[in-house]
Structure 1
Amino acid sequence: MLNKIPKNLSPELVKVLMEMGHGDEIVIADGNYPAASNAKRLVRCDGLGVPELLVSILELLPMDTYQEYAIGLMEVAKGDDTVPKIWETYQKIIQSAEVENQKIEMIERQDFYDRSKTAYAIIATGEEAIYANILLKKGVVR
Structure 2
Amino acid sequence: MLLGIDPLLTADLLHALRAMGHGDAIAIVDANFPATANTRRLVVLPGCDASAMLRAILSVLPVDDFIAHPLTTMQVVGDPDAVPPAVAEFRMIAGEAGMGSVERHEFYRLTREAFAIVQTGDRRLYANVIVTKGVIRA
RMSD value, Cα:
1.6
Q: Which residues of 2 match residues 1-142 of structure 1 at below 5 A? A: 1-78=1-78, 83-95=83-95, 102-142=97-137
Deviations 1:14-66 (A, max 9, x none): 11000000000000000000001111100111121001111111010000011
Q: Structure 1 residue runs of 4+, over 6 Å off?
A: none
TM-score, normalising length from structure 1?
0.91
Percentage identity across paired residues of the two chains: 36
The 3 A distance-change label for structure 1 pair 74 and 49 is same
Deviations 1:87-114 (A, max 9, x none): 221111112xxx5xx1111111100001
Q: How far apart, in 1, do the equivalents of 2:132 and 2:83 lie?
A: 24
- TM-score after normalising by structure 2: 0.93
The number of residues matched between the two structures is 137
Gaps of 5+ in 1: none
